Amino acid sequence: MKRRVALVCVVVAGMAGCGESGAETAASWQEPGSYSYVLASQCGERLLLGRFRITVEQGKVTKAEGLDGSARRALEGKSDSPPTLRQLLDEWESARRDGAEVADLSTDPGDGHPTKIMIDPVKNAMDDEACYTITEFAVV
């Protein structure tokens, strides 16, 4: 029995060092010079809702296309552009730092880019959530 407990402890201790936490992944991911992605922005009461195809060059959004009615309406006459992936990660890091009740990050196991971000500053408050799903990421 003691041997089994010792083995379990060794396995668990070894696994504790595996993988990166969301904060480590966010800090280590290097934003490419040029890339594109599709952002599905859901949840909460915000202007940026819908599906967008976004192109980023040198850290700035150079093209944003609304892929559904909500996204097209969000882009109409708006001077602000949708966020870059770095800006989404900054929003997530800020939520964590400010003590949000939910600040979850999922990343691509291959290159570490964010694939899903869930933020809810106060769990029982209405319409303060931000939910982002990132797909079709490509370095261009």
DSSP state string for 52-75:
EEEEEETTEEEEEEE-SHHHHHHH
As for how many domains the chain has, the answer is 1
For residue 57, which of 28, 81, 24 has the smallest C-alpha distance? 81
Question: Would residue 11 count as lying in a domain?
Answer: no
Structural domain span for residue 128: 22-139
Distance in angstroms (rounded) separating the CA atoms of residues 73 and 70: 5
**Structure tokens, 29:** 């991911």
pLDDT tens column, 81-90:
899 999 999 9
Q: What is the DSSP letter of 2?
A: H
Q: What are the pLDDT digits (tens) for 19-77?
A: 445 667 666 899 999 999 999 999 888 888 999 999 999 999 999 999 999 999 999 97
With respect to residue 93, please indicate whether it lies within any of the assigned structural domains: yes
Contact predicate 102/111, CB 8 Å: no
